[in-house]
Amino acid sequence: MYDEEELRDLRKELEEVRQLKESLKAEISDLRRDSPSQKYRRKVHIETPVVDLSGLTESLEVMMEDIGEQIQDSLGNLHDAKERIREKRIFRTAGRDRPRVRDSEVEAIPPERVAAFIGPLGSEERLRILDYLKSGGKTFNELEQHTGRTGSSLTHHLNPLVNAGYVIKGEVRGTYYVTVEGSLAYRLSQWLTSRLESEMEGRRYRDDDEADLEGWY
Amino acid sequence: MIEVNPHAGVKVVVDPIEVISTEKVLVKVQPGCLWTELMQDGRHVGAVIQGPAEYAFDAIAETEEGALGKSFRGDMGGFKIYVGGTDLQGSSRAASHEEFLTRDFSSAEDFIEGVCGALGLHNLHNDSNVSSSGGLGEGVVIWSDDGVKKNVITAKGGSQVLVKDKTVYTLSDESYVMVDDGRVSIRGPGGKRLVIDEGGIIEPEELRNLGPRIAKEVADSLKDLKSTMRRRRREDVPR
């Protein structure tokens, strides 16, 4: 939706352009009327102006026409703007239009907020459930067979996932589905695991190298 | 034209029966419900049911990114107009006078009068488009909890529709349209998704804030134009 304020700004800009055009016209008129050389010449040669402004006015006319075209082009470009915006967007990463979260804001998230999102993921059974549901909705029985947990033991793991919004239960057949948020949470958990494993592996190699080097000296 | 079968009489449900039963939609009629048969062009097409009934509707769309939507469950008040192939006869018998009284009707005629009122409320007397050629367990149910707002559930051939209060959910295997909480979400067969709320387009992200972005483009163009004009004025006008 167009913002009223932005439309007002646009109208203001157009008004300024119009005023600028008017002031240019006024300046040309002033030049014609008040040019000292013209006045002087007029006294001597009244019928023949020495300063020929026709060239200037012609160029200004041309300029005005140019400006008119530019205005038309600028407004005409509106049709292309959407395409340009879209073209630019193709190369952007997902979520870039969202308000950027500063590192300091991330670091300021208190443990209880982290726990609200991470806590429900905190067991192998729950992660196994999310992983299984990625392939589509499953009934309670199917989840029991997959996890090896039955009845309240499975509910104990399912409920935190449902309460966190990671899993949704269909009322018709009692089918469980992993939500978009649940998929994202699981994917981020996998990414975190991958990063930490790689970091720790790198450190182990470095420690080993240092130990080898110490052996040399 | 849909009409009551004058020869069918009024029955009472004795065993619970699921008149609509698909993977994502369930409409269940409970014992004690009174009902009478509906005809269209001489064919049996459904029933008008009055009494305890409930529905469940999974307005859940499965996408590659995960599931979206909600699941609904609720009671269905008033007369329920059911158009579909499920036969209620096997779970019913002729209603007794006491059973009419239990449901606040004085007689079978009083019940039929109420049925005709419900058909008129939903403008079904003249509407020949309400029909269900779906399979067993599929169909349409129209009802009104308050006698004013019309609610609709349909389930047919892998497609489901729920219209209740200010929510509309239409789902098929590959696409959905959801109107809920002042937001419209549309997903096409190719996975493309469009979400619009009062503030404008939310998805796709490349169209978010489109208005302000176009306004900025125009403003930038005008700024360029102004600077061009000023420069030309400096260059062309002799001092």
Kind and range of the H or E run holding B53: strand B53-63
Do B128 and B213 have their domain in common? no
B201 located within any domain: no
* Cβ contacts of B22 on chain A, cutoff 8 Å: 172
Do B231 and B159 have their domain in common? no
**pLDDT at residue A2, as a whole number:** 54
Chunked into runs of 10 residues, chain B (239 residues) has average pLDDT values of 78 94 93 91 88 94 86 93 87 92 91 88 65 75 88 90 89 83 82 82 78 80 82 70
Among the ranges given (A29-33, A137-141, A174-178, B22-26), the one the predictor scored with the smallest mean pLDDT: A29-33
> Are residues A27 and A16 in contact, defined by beta-carbon separation less than 8 angstroms?
no
* Cβ contacts of A86 on chain B, cutoff 8 Å: 206-207
Residue B146, domain extent? 2-164
Contacts of B3 (CB under 8 A, 6+ apart): B38, B39, B40, B119, B125
Is A2 near chain B, with CB under 8 Å? yes
Residue B160 CA to residue B72 CA, distance in Å, equals 13
**pLDDT at residue B11, as a whole number:** 93
Q: What is the ipTM of this complex?
A: 0.74
Size of interface A-B (CB pairs under 8 A): 149
B170 located within any domain: no
Burial class, B12, CB count within 10 angstroms (exposed 0-12 / middle 13-18 / buried 19+): buried
Report how far apart, in Å, the C-alpha atoms of B200 and of each of A87, A164, B216 are.
20, 28, 17
Among the ranges given (A105-109, A195-199, B156-160, B189-193), the one the predictor scored with the smallest mean pLDDT: B189-193
Kind and range of the H or E run holding A212: helix A180-216
B203 located within any domain: no
> Are residues A138 and A176 in contact, defined by beta-carbon separation less than 8 angstroms?
yes
Burial class, A180, CB count within 10 angstroms (exposed 0-12 / middle 13-18 / buried 19+): middle
Structure tokens at A162: 């449902």
Q: Which of B68, B47, B78, B87 is nearest to B169 (CA)?
A: B68
Indicate yes or no: CB of B210 within 8 angstroms of CB of A85. yes
Indicate yes or no: CB of A168 within 8 angstroms of CB of B67. yes
Do B229 and B143 have their domain in common? no
**pLDDT at residue A77, as a whole number:** 53
Indicate yes or no: CB of A89 within 8 angstroms of CB of B25. no
B188 located within any domain: no
Do B103 and B218 have their domain in common? no
State how far Cα A48 lies from the chain centre: 65
Q: Which of B91, B97, B170, B232 is nearest to A28 (CA)?
A: B232
Q: Letter for the amino acid at A207?
A: D
Kind and range of the H or E run holding B97: helix B97-102
Tell which of B137, B164, B191 closes a domain.
B164
Number of domains in chain B: 2
Do B150 and B49 have their domain in common? yes
Indicate yes or no: CB of A56 within 8 angstroms of CB of B66. no
**pLDDT at residue B197, as a whole number:** 86
Do B69 and B146 have their domain in common? yes
Q: Which residue of chain A comes nearest to B65, CA vs CA?
A: A180
B184 located within any domain: no
Do B214 and B136 have their domain in common? no
Indicate yes or no: CB of A85 within 8 angstroms of CB of B206. yes
Do B109 and B214 have their domain in common? no
Q: Letter for the amino acid at A177?
A: Y
Residue A136 CA to residue B67 CA, distance in Å, equals 9
B178 located within any domain: no
Q: Which of B96, B118, B136 is nearest to B10 (CA)?
A: B96
Residue B221 CA to residue B215 CA, distance in Å, equals 10
Do B151 and B218 have their domain in common? no
At residue A56 the predicted structure's pLDDT band, cuts being 50, 70 and 90, is: very low
B111 located within any domain: yes
Residue A94 has pLDDT above 50, yes or no: no
**pLDDT at residue B173, as a whole number:** 72
Say which DSSP state A138 is in: B
Indicate yes or no: CB of A56 within 8 angstroms of CB of B218. no
Q: Which residue of chain B comes nearest to A3, CA vs CA?
A: B212
> Residues 56 to 75 of A: which have CB under 8 A from any B CB?
56, 59-60, 63, 67, 70-71, 74-75
Q: How far does B55 lie from chain A, in Å, by closest CA?
A: 8
B226 located within any domain: yes
Indicate yes or no: CB of A172 within 8 angstroms of CB of B215. no
Do B123 and B227 have their domain in common? no
Q: How far does B149 lie from chain A, in Å, by closest CA?
A: 24
Indicate yes or no: CB of B218 within 8 angstroms of CB of A24. no
Residue A78 CA to residue B218 CA, distance in Å, equals 7
Burial class, A35, CB count within 10 angstroms (exposed 0-12 / middle 13-18 / buried 19+): middle
- Residue in the block written with tokens 């005008």: B222
Is B212 near chain A, with CB under 8 Å? yes
Residue A60 has pLDDT above 70, yes or no: no
Do B128 and B226 have their domain in common? no
Do B222 and B114 have their domain in common? no
Q: Which of A81, A25, A79 is nearest to B229 (CA)?
A: A25
Q: Which of B149, B155, B141, B126 is nearest to B58 (CA)?
A: B155
Report how far apart, in Å, the C-alpha atoms of B2 and of each of A196, B10, B39 are.
67, 17, 6
Residue A79 has pLDDT above 60, yes or no: no
Residue A35 CA to residue A29 CA, distance in Å, equals 10
- Residue in the block written with tokens 């007029």: A42
Q: How far does B35 lie from chain A, in Å, by closest CA?
A: 24
At residue A55 the predicted structure's pLDDT band, cuts being 50, 70 and 90, is: very low
* Cβ contacts of B28 on chain A, cutoff 8 Å: none
Cα angle B12, B17, B18; round to 5: 135
Domains and CATH numbers, chain A: 10-90 (no CATH), 114-209 (1.10.10.10)
**pLDDT at residue B208, as a whole number:** 76
> Are residues B143 and B78 in contact, defined by beta-carbon separation less than 8 angstroms?
yes
Indicate yes or no: CB of B218 within 8 angstroms of CB of A71. no
The shortest CB-CB distance from B226 to any of A20, A75, A136 is to A20
